[in-house]
């Protein structure tokens, strides 16, 4: 997809998001433009990518690009995470599935801009996921594109300058989440997308969310877990296209915990 088309689709997504959340569209787009013009953040990402490529020889996915000239080359989900955190100003954010830290970096940059808040991220290192066997791999449909150097830890792309608002827990989210003491205002899922795992993780995370928390799930087309959960909780979700990595494929779903109704109020 051409970068100009990606931007048009992103703007359309934010128009729909504004209607869904009852938020001022100009404010959401303003945060998007803020991110597009944040040259220091993009430079820090490029510097980290160059360092990883040179030191570890990792050149898969986004690391195949020697330099990124626009935030729009990233999947829309990351732009969405930034805008949501800037708008909602959550006190606590829960993230499952870190991998190299793309979502994490955007979340932390938004928290830094907000000058407050904390991100709790949960993930196994890739090497430990592989020890479980392919049947339990986090992303079974992407081949070897997520296999990285065993000495690297989850979130290795995150610039060191963003660590202030971050707590990384290496472990199984199904075991870690029930023991968390915090209440979260935003929950981001990007770990194992299988029906059994995601169903259990959604149920566990749901118990840790505030009354008006927002749930964001990536790769919703990999199983029916997100849709089944929305039906069970009587949630009316918003589905969004990727716009960057996979053209117009619908990949991201969001739902508001306090928005349990038939959705009719969204169209009045």
Q: Residue 119's pLDDT is what?
A: 98
Q: What predicted TM-score, i.e. pTM, was given to this entire model? A: 0.91
Phi, psi angles (nearest 5°) of residue 220: -70, -15
Q: Residue 134's pLDDT is what?
A: 45
Name the H helices within 89-224: 102-114, 126-131, 173-176, 195-206
User: CA dist 40 to 159, 161, 211, 253, Å?
Assistant: 11, 11, 35, 29
157: DSSP letter: T
Structural domain span for residue 183: 3-267
Q: Residue 145's pLDDT is what?
A: 54
Indicate left, alpha or beta for 120 from its phi (over 0: left) and psi (-120 to 50: alpha): beta
Q: Residue 248's pLDDT is what?
A: 72
Domain total for the chain?
1
CATH number of residue 238's parent domain: 3.40.50.150
Calculate the CA 261 to chain-centre distance: 25
Please give the structure tokens belonging to residue 176: 């870690």
How many Å apart are CA 103 and CA 232, to the nearest integer? 27
pLDDT tens, per residue, the chain with 268 residues: 678 888 999 999 999 999 999 999 999 999 999 999 999 999 999 999 999 989 888 887 788 888 899 999 898 999 999 999 999 999 999 999 999 999 999 999 999 999 999 999 999 886 666 665 544 445 555 555 566 666 788 999 999 999 999 999 999 999 999 999 999 999 999 999 999 999 999 999 999 999 999 999 999 999 999 999 999 999 999 999 887 655 678 899 999 997 654 444 443 3
């Amino acid at each position: 997809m051409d970068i100009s088309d990606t931007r048009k689709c992103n703007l359309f997504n934010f128009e729909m998001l504004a209607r869904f959340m009852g938020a001022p569209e100009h404010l959401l787009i303003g945060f998007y433009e803020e991110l597009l013009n944040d040259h220091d953040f993009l430079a820090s990402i490029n510097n980290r990518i160059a360092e990883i490529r040179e030191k570890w020889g990792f050149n898969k996915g986004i690391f195949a690009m020697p330099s990124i000239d626009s935030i729009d080359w990233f999947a829309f989900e990351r732009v969405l995470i930034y805008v949501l955190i800037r708008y909602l100003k959550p006190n606590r954010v829960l993230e499952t599935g870190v991998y190299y830290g793309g979502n994490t970096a955007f979340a932390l940059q938004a928290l830094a801009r907000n000058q407050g808040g904390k991100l709790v991220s949960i993930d196994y290192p890739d090497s430990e996921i592989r020890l479980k066997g392919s049947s339990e791999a986090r992303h079974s449909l992407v081949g070897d594109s997520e296999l990285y150097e065993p000495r690297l830890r989850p979130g290795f792309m995150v610039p060191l300058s963003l660590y202030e608002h971050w707590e990384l827990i290496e472990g199984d989210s199904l075991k870690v989440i029930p023991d968390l003491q915090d209440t979260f205002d935003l929950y981001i899922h990007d770990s194992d997308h299988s029906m059994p795992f995601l169903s259990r993780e959604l149920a566990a995370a749901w118990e840790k969310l505030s009354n008006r928390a927002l749930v964001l799930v990536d790769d919703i087309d990999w199983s029916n877990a997100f849709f089944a959960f929305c039906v069970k909780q009587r949630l009316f979700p918003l589905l969004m296209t990727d716009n960057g990595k996979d053209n117009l494929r619908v990949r991201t779903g969001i739902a508001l915990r306090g928005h349990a109704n038939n959705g009719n109020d969204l169209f009045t």
